Structure 1
Amino acid sequence: MALPKGLAAFPITPCDRHGRVDAVALRRLVARLRSAGVDAVGLLGSTGTFMYLTREQRRTALEVAVDEIAGAAPLMVGVGALRTDDAVELARDATSIGASCGLLAPVSYTPLTEDEAFEHYSTVAREGGLPLCIYDNPGTTHFRFSPELIARLSQVPGIVGVKSPSGLSGETVAHLGDLRARVPAGFSLGYSGDWNVLAPMIAGADVWHSVLGGLLPGICLRIVRAAQNHDEAEARRLDTALGPVWELFRTYSSLRVVYAMAEILGIARAAPPRPILPLSDTARSHVADVIGRLPSELVV
């Protein structure tokens, strides 16, 4: 399987205080993505708080999403776990329920070596029965994939792409070029970090793995399409219009902000899993003020 090019939209996983998945709210979120025509849905990513959910809770979320998306877009699902055997079982669950691809983060308590990461990914790819995308998220996992390790993993059957973090534009574009020279044709090179992702998309990255896209897919799709059509001016104009949202993400973290936004916009009412706390009343008022000032064309 080749990952689709374009926008992979990552919604929250709305749950009650006991971690029970709110199926109605999750359906509403996924339906928005299906209706918008996103290129892929990214379920149970970091925004979907995969590491805070049990195996059964993850299965429930996946069953809801598969049913709602109804084949309209590929479904990428987080299968990360501390133990390799647990990640294999999560990948098998995802395969049996109907996911298209797994997103595997190297979550750990003891920091992994590159050889340990290689064996972890190779085993899950071999035994899980699901195409895998490497999830490079050093801000949470404290493990950074070197270009050499990504190149090595790109040769493993069943590993089809990488989701890398974006940073300073020059460094990220150079990172993209370096990887492009190392991996096979068709190996997906995608980026996350919404406020910095425009540069690699303009430079030819395959996928924007987007937090905001999981809530406001319309404007994020417009940015992706402009970049794909080499309309740099339009892509930059739209990205600049979202500048106040990017500032909220930088200030409060994208996870906390999208939970607040989902409630403010009347899409879903949920709090992040404890011990993560919702935004304070003051911060939430700040988010509401920013959202209220955005042009209506952006809030779709």
Structure 2
Amino acid sequence: MFTGLSAFPLTPLVKGEIDEKAFVALIEALAAAGVNSIGALGSTGSYAYLTREQRFAATRLAVSAAAGVPVMTSIGSVNAEEILRLADDAQKAGVSGLLLAPLCYQKLTAEEVFRLYERVCGEISVPLCIYDNPATSGFDFTDELLVALSALPGMGSIKLGYIPADPAEASARVTALKSQVAEGVTIGISGDAQSAAGLLAGCDVWYSVLGGLFPDYCLRLTQAALRGDVEETRRLNDALEPLWGFFRRYGSLRVIATVAELTGRVAAPCLPFPLQTLVGEEREVLGQVCRPVQA
């Protein structure tokens, strides 16, 4: 399940409660498009803002609506015991994989992060994906730590949060990682604005925010990159550059939630309070720049 396009949908909320009808519709659209996997309750899915009960309910809905497409869900928490409870809930709900970022209040050391993943891997029965997201977790993985973690039992993929901007350096990093990680562990790229570059550099999977709302366009881009069609990949990605500019300025969650509201996929407001979608002129401009993915 850790190859191709892994689409990360929103979890639309109404007054803090999950809009189940809208959420199911988003999942069903991803399944119909033929994405390789669905990352329910990632950062785009606002997992950190939901209660354990809400996360269990949303995961069950996602698995049911996915119609056989593998579903991965986040089990991140600052409390290790809660992580294990969330993992148990997710497995009971029928997920095919788990996603874990090392969330913290006190900054974690590399040794502490290793021990966390070691413990979790020892108590789960589905593959785990390392969630490298320093912007939200506050932890920066070294490649040495990623390689060490890949050898843990049940590790399935590494979701990279960063690659060098220079194509040669990006390719060198991905190639080095792929030569050192344990057999069967894939390398994925996130941070949508750099994802085309990551795929062309050799990553196996795009963990995609945009794919959670516009899977058809993102599948075309992913498939072009994975078959080595550099020209087509760059053409599709270049058309998204104005949208990537919004991602860089406001963060992917606020932007994709705004687009979802503008296109009528979710009711407004859809984000957990106090997060807000874009307003005013920027909202209007965003509606224009996202048109290429709707064609």
In structure 1, distance between residues paired with 2:131 and 2:197: 19
| Partner of residue 132, structure 2 | 136
Residue-pair matches, total: 292
The partner residue of 2:24 within 22, 27, 31 is 27
User: Structure 1 residue 57 and structure 2 residue 54: aligned?
Assistant: yes
In structure 2, distance between residues paired with 1:10 and 1:69: 12
| Partner of residue 80, structure 1 | 76
The partner residue of 1:237 within 231, 235, 238 is 235
| Partner of residue 112, structure 1 | 108
Deviates most, 124-133 or 253-262: 124-133
* Cα-Cα RMSD: 1.3
Give CA-to-partner distance per residue, 1:236-271, whole Å, 9 cap, x none: 111111111111111221110111100111111242
In structure 2, distance between residues paired with 1:87 and 1:284: 37
The partner residue of 1:48 within 45, 48, 64 is 45
| Partner of residue 5, structure 1 | 3
| Partner of residue 271, structure 1 | 270
| Partner of residue 99, structure 1 | 95
| Partner of residue 70, structure 1 | 67
**Matched residue of 1:13: which SS?**
coil
Give CA-to-partner distance per residue, 1:200-250, whole Å, 9 cap, x none: 201221100000000001110001110111111111111111111111111
Change (3 A) 1:64 1:239: same
Contact 1:10–1:42 (CA under 8 A) maintained in structure 2: yes
Contact 1:89–1:128 (CA under 8 A) maintained in structure 2: no
TM-score (ref. length: structure 1): 0.94
Contact 1:10–1:213 (CA under 8 A) maintained in structure 2: yes
Unpaired runs of 5+ in structure 2?
none
Instruction: State the Cα distance separating 1:136 from its structure 2 match.
Output: 0.5
- Percent identity reads 42
The one-letter code of the counterpart of 2:259 is M
| Partner of residue 299, structure 1 | 294
Give CA-to-partner distance per residue, 1:116-154, whole Å, 9 cap, x none: 101111111112333210000011111011111111111
Unpaired runs of 5+ in structure 1?
none
**Matched residue of 2:174: which SS?**
helix
Deviates most, 97-106 or 168-177: 168-177
User: Structure 1 residue 179 and structure 2 residue 174: aligned?
Assistant: no
| Partner of residue 247, structure 2 | 249
The one-letter code of the counterpart of 1:248 is F
